Amino acid sequence: MSRPVMIAPSVLPADFSRLGEEVAALEAAGVDLIQWDVMDGQFVPNLTFGPDVIASTRDRCTLPFEAHLMVLTPDAMAKDYVEAGCSRLIVHAEAVTHLHRTLGAIADLGASPAVALNPATPASAVTHVLDLVDLVLVMTVNPGFGGQDYLPTMESKVAEVRRMLVDAGRSDDVHVEVDGGIGPDTVAGAAAAGANVLVAGSSLFRDPEGLEHAVSDLRSRAEAARGGTTARA
Ligand code: DX5
């Protein structure tokens, strides 16, 4: 598990009337990248950020942006989100017919391709695309909303994906990310299982001691759980 611990805030719980200030505050609080939860109201029952919203904040933060595309048509949307300033696009294996082709098309756009797995989707769904991605996202909630309870049963899938990457000789090149219900009480289990990129929304924004404390606390708990190293993106 040599990939560094990275904290990736979801801006889903942020103040949408001040997104520019919010991403700047997240950078100041010490996060490693920003995750945009893109939802189309079809793949998941919620509607969120279009590319123009993301583009409007791009110059307010120097960190990488990744778009978590919880949408039914990622092939049609990919170019717009790359042009909006997202350097990684995460597509759901469940949303596309030709995942291998979709990931290759994202790479052709100059972005880092990544794949997400819903809780019921087996790790085996990514067996034949591990050579195409720089990140595998194991969802630890059913996608669509923030503030849901963490699914500890996903830890075995995190460990399985990490093992698959080791067996494929890709463990030093591919991040394992978790998203959903990640906070002080759940991050250790996910990190110990093999996750190194930790997406958190509610637990960061609701910390009474503020964002910087929340980010630092989450990072130290993850590092302690895996005894690993950490690095800013
Ligand atoms: C689910 C979303 C959430 C969000 C973070 O579709 O992807 O997981 O990023 O949610 P919480 O508030 O649980 O950290």
**Which tens digit of pLDDT belongs to each residue from 97-149?**
999 999 999 999 999 999 999 999 999 999 999 999 999 999 999 999 999 99
- The question of whether 59 is a catalytic residue gets the answer no
Q: How far is CA 67 from CA 74, 188, 204, in A?
A: 10, 25, 19
Spatial distance between the Cα atoms of 17 and 29, rounded to a whole number of angstroms: 20
Q: Does the pLDDT value for residue 233 go beyond 60?
A: no
DSSP three-state, residue 151: coil
Spatial distance between the Cα atoms of 158 and 148, rounded to a whole number of angstroms: 19
**Domain spanning 6-225: CATH 3.20.20.70:** yes
Spatial distance between the Cα atoms of 77 and 96, rounded to a whole number of angstroms: 12
- The question of whether 179 is a catalytic residue gets the answer yes
Residue 2: per-residue pLDDT? 65
Q: Taking the model in full, what pTM does it have?
A: 0.96
Q: Does the pLDDT value for residue 92 go beyond 60?
A: yes
Atom 1 (ligand 1) nearest CA: 143
Spatial distance between the Cα atoms of 181 and 171, rounded to a whole number of angstroms: 25
C-beta of 214 in contact with ligand 1 (< 6 A)? no
Spatial distance between the Cα atoms of 21 and 161, rounded to a whole number of angstroms: 36
